[in-house]
Chains A and B, each alone.
Chain A
């Protein structure tokens, strides 16, 4: 159908539309009009991707000078492929409707093996790739540097974007890294020696080029041609390369000294935590390395590697890592912490020192993106509470909205189970998690559900270790064997290949009617990347609240930073983080309006307002007072009732006019009134 979105003609490749899609497109258009950034939460399965593509492509065609490119970032390879498939559908629709062959060029980059850095990327109208191509400075510099300012950037499935940012800026250095680095430096030295004997002019030329190269970058940055690189600080562009690392030999000597210093730092017996300035002060005192040459380190090494015409850069990953670390630690006095641990907490007898250089501020990595591109859209099915993202990513959105899922029948059923039938409270909180009664009640819950839920059940645990322990004690108590009378059991393991196989078998068992249970882990690969549509997931059980492991020093440092810099209280952040993962887990089962599923939160703490309130609106609004703090028996009763209702035939007519609209219905004044209620502005 052809839609009129606030005066814009949008081709929408379907015969019907969900009201929330219309509302979503309206908000999106407003964001693009304002040339600002947006945060939009819309449940999965309501056609978010096609709404985004339809509107932005229409916008590009209507205002080719305002928006020149769409950069669509998603998280996993299947998601990227899905976007491409939807885009293809849209393009076919355009061709069919307009009769002309479209001249749109869309490009998907996936997997670095097939990395496409062809200049075509500059001409494509749409680029689809993974987050890392934009957020990881090492790749962004290669791939995305020259993307036009008038691009719209979309981060889909963006609920974890802060972690991606942090990961891309954090560095870990072990003894092994340093050993490999040592070899790298020796190779460099030998190569330089050889070239010096054969072609001394080349090295002189190298130095000249280095200075020029940096000047070029400076010009580009000032005229705004490039996406800036957070690892290439402004200062280097304006200053001259310090004398101490000017020649190749001096630079290698410098690297050696730095390496020796790092080795010395790893020879410790107790944990050390310090800030970047402290580290710089120490390095100056111990080996007289100044801040300035450190800052030039990454760029200097890149130039040297280019000059030496080294084919396989991968061999030099260790020395590259060290020099990136040098530049980062000397550039950012804030937002990073250095933690040196002599051994792992679990195994205090085995010496395995690691230097963690942890980024605590996700805004550092994403800052260039917000600064460069006129519109950046952060969207996902679970972004609640919306206002926390602008705070931790440090940007000012023009629109922030959460959309509900309009439903003709309530196809999701969130239930909060707080007690066993013996009235013992159910919770994964630290004090009670090993409690025999809690584990048994969790087992009974799963057992009872396995008897009444058809086909597939997915259960998530708060961590892998917790799941292992529970599975072992369920096995000892014979609970698992009783569950096996109803369904087959498959369990996520730490091995991805093994888990893939278990997943496939799980689906097979759901498919052939046997029914199965998948035991899985929140924050694991399954919870983040696999959908359980229709009979593959008729119920999701979230055992406990998936808090992150709080004893880690890195996390503690990050919490402190959040408190000091963003005034976000530790508990608020931890709860937010736990709830976004819980929402991700339970949201896996509902992928559309024809789908249905139970969402069982098995922990009494979910009933509290501070937890419940952080769930996405589209889940929250279906939690009634009657679904709080239930016993297992009550849960079973409510579930039975729900499943019986859902098993009734559900036809298009039931939806039409309520949660599904024809073009005529969409145009009615009354409906437009209703639609304006769908978006909740924050």
Chain B
């Protein structure tokens, strides 16, 4: 059979696909099916391409498993072995359940990322169309440098990428349904399990402790749903319950949260009042009544649980961010006890107070917040791009020097009145220098934007970006010091050639047809030529070295 190096994880015989009997193979990276008696696969899907799997409901005559791909296509397998069909199907399902998430995330993330980049960046999208869709370079080549580039750019933001939060109502989604024969059915998906674990680490710990050596997964969740822990009006959890410990931990966590107090002094109800009346004074006798009815107790337990649940859900979503923000808050909470002294006032309080008394509309805004310009070469910023000359480079210092030189000369310029032109010569010179005159032809030349239609302009622009992209790939290969780069530079060279023949030449022909000056594309040609020169130079040197 094909691909001998692949490890086969599961083989299921007598699986029908399109009414044909065959065998289903689950490998490490893909799932495949081959018809009976043939040694090739007619169906093969990489796990990364699979969006989800679906199974036929229990009790249906046909026992099936359907794979839905990202592309929207689907493949259905029918397990036909009468005696073991259900078992076979479940084995395949369970294995897939384990395998799919591993690939899913990777594939999705990449696809999403690419999609996002193309959507956000119209120039990139155009480039993609110009280069990949027209098959100048392959999609992989296109993305190869892009994604890397991107990951460097966004290294920081990628690290801090927000995780998807948890729905507060995840427990609501498992609302039990009666199955008609005195039992309850809970729908539990891997998402919900993850939500439970993320929100209640204590349960996760219990799971790790007990499954699978003490309990099966099913038993574990059955007990979870039976326990008072799951029911929010729990008051006392039985000792025999494995979740009673979780409840205790929750209680402890809640208490410690309360003891920690709040960071924002503006919401601290404890220090809201300046003075409570002395004991015995006041008209309201809010004496703590110890005697609460059972119902009241259970009611307040529900309320406590809701607060706790919301806090846990919120914390689960923020857990990652917290690590970084904790440091900041730590430095600001070194206030000690001197609340009233201005000098030791905790900064957070000051900030909150300022916020509270601010009337944004009464004040003139202090201007929009600006972002500081981060210049690597400040002289280039102040003088603008200098046209690149073949041999002579002038640094900004040179320019400044020469300007001051000229200024100096002008300041000490003395007209030599004995050697002046005749008036006729002078007037003809003025005519020649006036607009429309012989010497002012260049100034009257129409700019390219007036000469060329906008279609051509935009086409030219696209050409430029595409060429730029290819050249960027090309030049990024230098210095060529690995075999991989060698290979790449050759490929890029041929890419450039292909670009020239499929894109540039047709364009040149087109502008010729429209009687436009061909020097529109001169610069692009020059750039490509420069690359060719470099390539040939490199190639000859390599030949020399080889011989």
Q: Which residues of A contact B169 (CB under 8 A)?
A: 481-482, 484-485
In the complex, what residue of chain A is closest to B321 when comparing beta carbons?
A512
Query: Is A393 close to B, CB under 8 A?
Result: no
Q: Which residues of B contact A168 (CB under 8 A)?
A: 277, 281-282
Query: Is A346 close to B, CB under 8 A?
Result: yes
Q: Considering the chains assembled together, what is the distance between the CA atoms of A14 and B339 in angstroms?
A: 29
Q: Considering the chains assembled together, what is the distance between the CA atoms of A166 and B284 in angstroms?
A: 10
Q: Measured between C-beta atoms, what is the minimum distance from A486 to chain B in Å?
A: 8
User: Do the beta carbons of B357 and A500 come within 8 Å of each other?
Assistant: no
Q: Which residues of B contact A111 (CB under 8 A)?
A: 271, 274-275, 339-340
Q: Which of B42-50, B217-225, B260-268 makes up part of the contact surface?
A: B260-268
User: Do the beta carbons of B310 and A489 come within 8 Å of each other?
Assistant: yes
Query: Is A112 close to B, CB under 8 A?
Result: yes
Q: Residues 241-278 of chain B: 1 if any A CB is under 8 Å from the residue's CB, otherwise 0?
A: 00000000000001001110111111111111111011
Contact among B261, B300, B318, B359 with A497 in the assembled complex (CB-CB below 8 Å): B261
Q: Residues 359-382 of chain B: 1 if any A CB is under 8 Å from the residue's CB, otherwise 0?
A: 111111000000000000000000
Interface size of B as a range = 35 or more
Query: Is B437 close to A, CB under 8 A?
Result: no
Q: Measured between C-beta atoms, what is the minimum distance from A497 to chain B in Å?
A: 5
Contact among B175, B272, B303, B362 with A16 in the assembled complex (CB-CB below 8 Å): B362
Query: Is B313 close to A, CB under 8 A?
Result: yes
In the complex, what residue of chain A is closest to B263 when comparing beta carbons?
A504
Q: Which residues of A contact B275 (CB under 8 A)?
A: 111-112, 130, 132, 139
Q: Considering the chains assembled together, what is the distance between the CA atoms of A95 and B300 in angstroms?
A: 54
Q: Considering the chains assembled together, what is the distance between the CA atoms of A136 and B276 in angstroms?
A: 11
User: Do the beta carbons of B277 and A136 come within 8 Å of each other?
Assistant: yes
Query: Is B306 close to A, CB under 8 A?
Result: yes
Q: Which residues of A contact B304 (CB under 8 A)?
A: 493, 498
Query: Is A593 close to B, CB under 8 A?
Result: yes
In the complex, what residue of chain B is closest to A507 when comparing beta carbons?
B267
In the complex, what residue of chain A is closest to B276 when comparing beta carbons?
A132
Interface positions, chain A 172-191, Cβ under 8 Å from B, are: 172-174, 177
Q: Which residues of B contact A480 (CB under 8 A)?
A: 306
Q: Which residues of A contact B303 (CB under 8 A)?
A: 468, 471, 491, 493
Which of B268, B284, B291, B362 has the most A CB atoms < 10 Å from its CB? B362
Q: Measured between C-beta atoms, what is the minimum distance from B160 to chain A in Å?
A: 14
Q: Considering the chains assembled together, what is the distance between the CA atoms of A529 and B364 in angstroms?
A: 30
User: Do the beta carbons of A487 and B362 come within 8 Å of each other?
Assistant: no
Query: Is B98 close to A, CB under 8 A?
Result: no
Contact among B280, B302, B307, B317 with A172 in the assembled complex (CB-CB below 8 Å): B280
In the complex, what residue of chain B is closest to A350 when comparing beta carbons?
B291
User: Do the beta carbons of A504 and B280 come within 8 Å of each other?
Assistant: no
Known: A14-B362, A172-B282, A172-B285. A78 touches B272 (CB 8 A): yes
Query: Is A282 close to B, CB under 8 A?
Result: no
Q: Which residues of A contact B296 (CB under 8 A)?
A: 465, 468
Contact among A18, A471, A504 with B262 in the assembled complex (CB-CB below 8 Å): A504
Contact among A76, A166, A488 with B168 in the assembled complex (CB-CB below 8 Å): A488
Query: Is B232 close to A, CB under 8 A?
Result: yes
Interface positions, chain A 202-248, Cβ under 8 Å from B, are: none
Q: Considering the chains assembled together, what is the distance between the CA atoms of A673 and B364 in angstroms?
A: 26
Which of A16, A471, A502, A512 has the most B CB atoms < 10 Å from its CB? A502
Interface positions, chain A 150-183, Cβ under 8 Å from B, are: 163, 166-168, 170-174, 177
Known: A17-B362, A508-B314. A502 touches B307 (CB 8 A): yes
Query: Is A451 close to B, CB under 8 A?
Result: no
Q: Residues 66-104 of chain A: 1 if any B CB is under 8 Å from the residue's CB, otherwise 0?
A: 000000000111101110011001000000000000000
Q: Which residues of A contact B263 (CB under 8 A)?
A: 504
User: Do the beta carbons of A503 and B361 come within 8 Å of each other?
Assistant: no
Q: How many residues of A contact B (CB 8 A)?
A: 98
Q: Which residues of B contact A359 (CB under 8 A)?
A: 283
Q: Considering the chains assembled together, what is the distance between the CA atoms of A484 and B312 in angstroms?
A: 13
Q: Considering the chains assembled together, what is the distance between the CA atoms of A110 and B339 in angstroms?
A: 10
Q: Considering the chains assembled together, what is the distance between the CA atoms of A93 and B233 in angstroms?
A: 57
Query: Is B171 close to A, CB under 8 A?
Result: yes
In the complex, what residue of chain A is closest to B170 when comparing beta carbons?
A484
Query: Is A347 close to B, CB under 8 A?
Result: yes
Query: Is A574 close to B, CB under 8 A?
Result: no
Q: Considering the chains assembled together, what is the distance between the CA atoms of A487 and B314 in angstroms?
A: 11
User: Do the beta carbons of A129 and B306 come within 8 Å of each other?
Assistant: no
Query: Is A604 close to B, CB under 8 A?
Result: no
Known: A17-B362, A346-B289, A350-B291. A509 touches B314 (CB 8 A): yes
In the complex, what residue of chain B is closest to A322 when comparing beta carbons?
B280
Query: Is B436 close to A, CB under 8 A?
Result: no
Known: A478-B172, A497-B270. A509 touches B280 (CB 8 A): no
Q: Considering the chains assembled together, what is the distance between the CA atoms of A499 and B300 in angstroms?
A: 13
Known: A110-B340, A168-B281. A491 touches B318 (CB 8 A): no
Interface positions, chain A 468-527, Cβ under 8 Å from B, are: 468-469, 471-472, 475, 478, 480-482, 484-485, 487-491, 493-505, 507-509, 512, 514, 516, 525-526
Q: Measured between C-beta atoms, what is the minimum distance from A588 to chain B in Å?
A: 13
Query: Is A567 close to B, CB under 8 A?
Result: no
In the complex, what residue of chain A is closest to B310 when comparing beta carbons?
A488
Query: Is B356 close to A, CB under 8 A?
Result: yes
Query: Is B354 close to A, CB under 8 A?
Result: yes
User: Do the beta carbons of B268 and A500 come within 8 Å of each other?
Assistant: yes
Q: Which residues of A contact B211 (CB under 8 A)?
A: none
Query: Is B441 close to A, CB under 8 A?
Result: no
Contact among A76, A318, A507, A531 with B280 in the assembled complex (CB-CB below 8 Å): A318
Query: Is B506 close to A, CB under 8 A?
Result: no
Q: Measured between C-beta atoms, what is the minimum distance from B281 to chain A in Å?
A: 6
Q: Which residues of A contact B165 (CB under 8 A)?
A: 514
In the complex, what residue of chain B is closest to A111 when comparing beta carbons?
B274
Q: Considering the chains assembled together, what is the distance between the CA atoms of A366 and B543 in angstroms?
A: 105
Known: A89-B357, A321-B280. A498 touches B258 (CB 8 A): yes
User: Do the beta carbons of A491 and B265 come within 8 Å of each other?
Assistant: no
Q: Considering the chains assembled together, what is the distance between the CA atoms of A500 and B258 in angstroms?
A: 8
Query: Is B520 close to A, CB under 8 A?
Result: no
In the complex, what residue of chain A is closest to B259 when comparing beta carbons?
A497
Query: Is B279 close to A, CB under 8 A?
Result: yes
Q: Considering the chains assembled together, what is the distance between the CA atoms of A437 and B360 in angstroms?
A: 45
Query: Is B66 close to A, CB under 8 A?
Result: no
Query: Is B353 close to A, CB under 8 A?
Result: yes
Q: Measured between C-beta atoms, what is the minimum distance from B251 to chain A in Å?
A: 12
In the complex, what residue of chain A is closest to B352 when comparing beta carbons?
A78
Q: Which residues of A contact B349 (CB under 8 A)?
A: 81
Contact among B262, B277, B318 with A501 in the assembled complex (CB-CB below 8 Å): B262
Contact among A167, A174, A465, A501 with B282 in the assembled complex (CB-CB below 8 Å): A167
Query: Is A317 close to B, CB under 8 A?
Result: yes
Query: Is B298 close to A, CB under 8 A?
Result: yes
Known: A471-B303, A500-B267, A594-B360. A110 touches B274 (CB 8 A): yes
Q: Considering the chains assembled together, what is the distance between the CA atoms of A489 and B267 in angstroms?
A: 17
User: Do the beta carbons of B262 and A347 come within 8 Å of each other?
Assistant: no
Interface positions, chain B 94-126, Cβ under 8 Å from A, are: none
Q: Considering the chains assembled together, what is the distance between the CA atoms of A132 and B299 in angstroms?
A: 36
Q: Measured between C-beta atoms, what is the minimum distance from B50 to chain A in Å?
A: 29
Query: Is B167 close to A, CB under 8 A?
Result: yes
Q: Considering the chains assembled together, what is the distance between the CA atoms of A185 and B410 in angstroms?
A: 107
Q: Considering the chains assembled together, what is the distance between the CA atoms of A321 and B279 in angstroms?
A: 9
Q: Which residues of A contact B257 (CB under 8 A)?
A: 501
User: Do the beta carbons of B299 and A47 come within 8 Å of each other?
Assistant: no
User: Do the beta carbons of B269 and A554 come within 8 Å of each other?
Assistant: no
Q: Which residues of A contact B202 (CB under 8 A)?
A: none
Query: Is A540 close to B, CB under 8 A?
Result: no
Query: Is B311 close to A, CB under 8 A?
Result: yes
Q: Residues 430-474 of chain A: 1 if any B CB is under 8 Å from the residue's CB, otherwise 0?
A: 000000000000000000000000000000000001001101100
7 closest A-B pairs by beta carbon, nearest first, are: A481-B172, A130-B274, A484-B169, A484-B168, A14-B362, A468-B299, A488-B310
Known pairs A85-B357, A347-B291 / 10 extra A-B pairs, C-beta < 8 Å? A111-B274, A173-B280, A484-B169, A488-B310, A491-B307, A501-B261, A502-B311, A514-B317, A529-B273, A593-B361
18 A-B pairs whose Cβ atoms sit less than 8 Å apart in the complex: A15-B363, A17-B362, A86-B357, A110-B274, A167-B282, A167-B284, A317-B279, A478-B175, A491-B306, A500-B261, A500-B267, A500-B270, A501-B262, A502-B310, A509-B310, A509-B314, A514-B317, A526-B269
